[in-house]
Amino acid sequence: MSNPKLTESGNLKEFLKRASAEIERATLEVLPSKEPYQELYFIQKDYPLRGGKRFRPALLLLCAEWFGASYKVALPSAVALELFHNFALIHDDIEDSSLFRRGKPTLHHLHGIPLAINAGDSLFGMVYEILLTNRARFGDQKTLEIISLFNQVFRATFEGQAYDISWVTNNHFPSKEEYFEMIRRKTGVYSGRGPCQLGALIADAPPDILEQVGDFGEALGIGFQIKDDLLNLEEDAGESKKYGKERGGDIREGKRTLITIHMLENLNQTDSEKLKAIILKPAEETLDDDVQWIIEKAYRLESLNIVRNECTSWTNKTKSILDLFPDNEIKNILLDLVDFLMVRRIN
């Protein structure tokens, strides 16, 4: 009897639905329900239970199937990636003073910063517990290769986050080149190159294929981040629940994006200084009028259209790398995923 496939329908929506359900089930299975429950394990489960796209671990499973592995042998590694993602969200929300995550208050607002940090740290520790179970499936050598690749993803993510945080701490406004170096590490590797290469590695893809798959994933991750920046300002008030973050949240958090970079390059000096002053304000001091002023200026300057064009360029680049691979059912799902994440995504 052949192994069941998450991709057997050939449909992206059905694949994501099935993959998300498998990842959620397997994730909740490994999260403890023992003491100290209220102080730790209850908090651990909060973000996973809020749902989310889970596209990073789903991408890992997709690439594992693409190169011939059963999703079941790749599932523990996908769970490890999901645990790391939720750890990163907890810390990221604290570092950015975020108010909402997936439409609800962030963990540190619900439970306080110390308990939220501790819950995140415990999730990170569990990543290695899960990855070490791969020894029974793949043996020691391959398990070490998977852990090593995970560590490369972690390092790149933390490096990108360091740039992002330091810009806020040091009141620095990056150039376009600096911005792309940051998101290449933080999102290109974390959301694309890493998951794609991990899936391919589990399926024993050769080194040259691993590199090509990584290039595809990195371009996908960068385009995904640019689209995310756009959505933060494009969303109508009625859609904010779908998006999961408040409209203009990036402004309140002092995020430097391609949109603000373009605005600073094209505003007059007075407005440029006002924009910088708003971005440098603490989140709790940023007024709704401040956010609205920046959004209106962004539309008047065509900054959103300029960044949409940039996103289109990365969409085309991502597809051109995918064209290097033979046509098949999974490649078609990946092409649809590119359009979903970089073109038509809402939630």
What are the residues facing 101 on neighbouring strands?
104
Give how far Cα 38 sits from Cα of 32, 44, 51, 120, 277, Å: 12, 10, 20, 14, 41
The DSSP code for 100 is: E
Return per-residue pLDDT of the chain as tens, 347 residues. 357 899 998 899 999 999 999 999 999 999 999 999 999 999 999 999 998 889 999 999 999 999 999 999 999 999 999 999 999 999 999 998 888 888 899 999 999 999 999 999 999 999 999 999 999 999 999 999 999 999 999 999 999 999 999 998 899 999 999 999 999 999 999 999 999 999 999 999 999 999 999 999 999 999 999 999 999 887 553 444 444 456 788 898 888 999 999 999 999 999 999 999 999 998 889 999 999 999 999 999 999 999 999 999 999 999 999 999 999 999 999 999 999 998 876 54
With vertex at residue 332, the alpha carbon angle to CA 331 and CA 335, rounded to the nearest 5 degrees, is: 90
Identify the pLDDT of residue 253: 82
Instruction: State how far the Cα of 304 lies from the Cα of 206, in Å rounded to an integer.
Output: 40
Single-letter residue type at 48: P
299, two tokens:
């539309």
Cα–Cα–Cα angle for 60, 314, 152, rounded to 5 degrees = 40
* pLDDT for the residue 98: 83
Q: What is the DSSP string of 287-303?
A: -HHHHHHHHHHHHHTTH
Distance CA 304, CA 228 (A): 12
Between the two ends of the chain, the Cα-to-Cα distance in Å is 37
- Using alpha carbons, select from 292, 282, 288 the residue that is nearest to residue 96: 282
Which residue in the block uniquely carries the two structure tokens 């605005």?
263
Q: What is the rounded distance in angstroms from the CA atom of residue 32 to the CA atom of residue 73?
A: 22
Burial of 164 (C-beta count, 10 Å sphere; 0-12/13-18/19+):
buried
The pLDDT value recorded for residue 242 is 47
Model confidence, pTM: 0.91
Is residue 254 within 8 Å of residue 278, measured between CB atoms? no
Q: How is residue 188 annotated by DSSP?
A: I
Contact 119, 76 (CB under 8 A): no
Six token digits for residue 72: 């079941």
Structure-token match 């990946």, residue found: 334
